[in-house]
Amino acid sequence: MQHASHDDPAPRPHTALTLSDGEVDFLWWFIQGSIMDADVRARLYDHWGMCARHALAFLVVEASFRPHLIHGSTILYAELIRRAARVLGGNPLYRLAPEALARHRLRSSGPCHMCELGYGPDSAGNAPPDRLAKGRDLANARAFAADNPNGWLPHVCGQCAGTDSAVRCRPHLIDALEHDGSIPMQFHRGTVENICTHLAKFERAFRWDSRDTDTDTDRGALVAAIGWCSGWHEILATFDRC
């Protein structure tokens, strides 16, 4: 399988996310602890999280059942955005690395975990009807995004949103590195490092001794990290913000 296929920027959908029974069923069990399985974490690391659809689905399901403890998504995407900061120069080891090396390190080396397992818009599931209804309810995830816009709106990819913003998500940054010649790497490093700094504060706020230390910008950085890693198409269509 060619690596490029894992990161092809997808066209923007016209409708908000609607999760299948199978997707809700899988993600309900996923947030119960499956995410901590070593093999699963390795697959998530290989793909830089999940595809745009399932990255958002993870946030939606976790927010629907645990609106005040969106912890699994935060841990995963905080880890990935720290990795991105290192790749783009947050670690001195990579500071002088050529763009070709950054392009290589930003690529996914495996498929989306849920897609590979066969979960998609039409997959069936066996969860009780009330769990399915709750899991596909977008209200909590939309409220989370709407309450914390300062943390993610400045980081929306211009290519995904169809604007003149110079910000790029990881898939579109890879595309730019391949085709656009000179890339303002310092600008893109700054974007990722800003998301990384704020998301680390949100992650830290889950600790008892650091509770209530996070800001709206810190919380919104979770949406920014998901968008940066997987692309913004699904997020923008679902949250109706750009």
pLDDT tens digits, residue range 124-177? 988 899 999 999 999 999 999 999 999 999 999 999 999 999 999 999 999 998
Calculate ∠ Cα 180-194-232, nearest 5°: 55
Residue linked to tokens 């830089």: 48
Tokens 């998500």, residue located: 169
Is residue 4 very low, low, confident or very high in pLDDT (cuts 50, 70, 90)?
Answer: very low
Residue 118 tokens read as: 């066969």
For 181, the token pair is 């010649």
**Distance, CA of 163 to CA of 166 (rounded, Å):** 9
| pLDDT one-digit tens code per residue, 77-99 | 999 999 999 898 845 554 545 57
Token pair 């009807």 is at which residue? 129
Token pair of 239 as six digits: 């949250």
Convert 66-82 to b/e letters by CB count within 10 Å (16 or more is b). eeeebebbbebbbbbbb
The pLDDT of residue 138 is: 96
Q: What is the pLDDT of residues 224-237, one digit of tens each?
A: 999 999 999 999 99
pLDDT digits (tens, 9 = 90+) for 7-49: 766 655 568 899 999 999 999 999 987 777 888 888 999 999 9
Tell me, what's the pLDDT at 126? 87
- Check pLDDT > 60 for residue 63: yes
pLDDT at position 217 over 60: yes
pLDDT at 135: 95
CA dihedral 72, 68, 238, 232 (to 10 degrees): -40
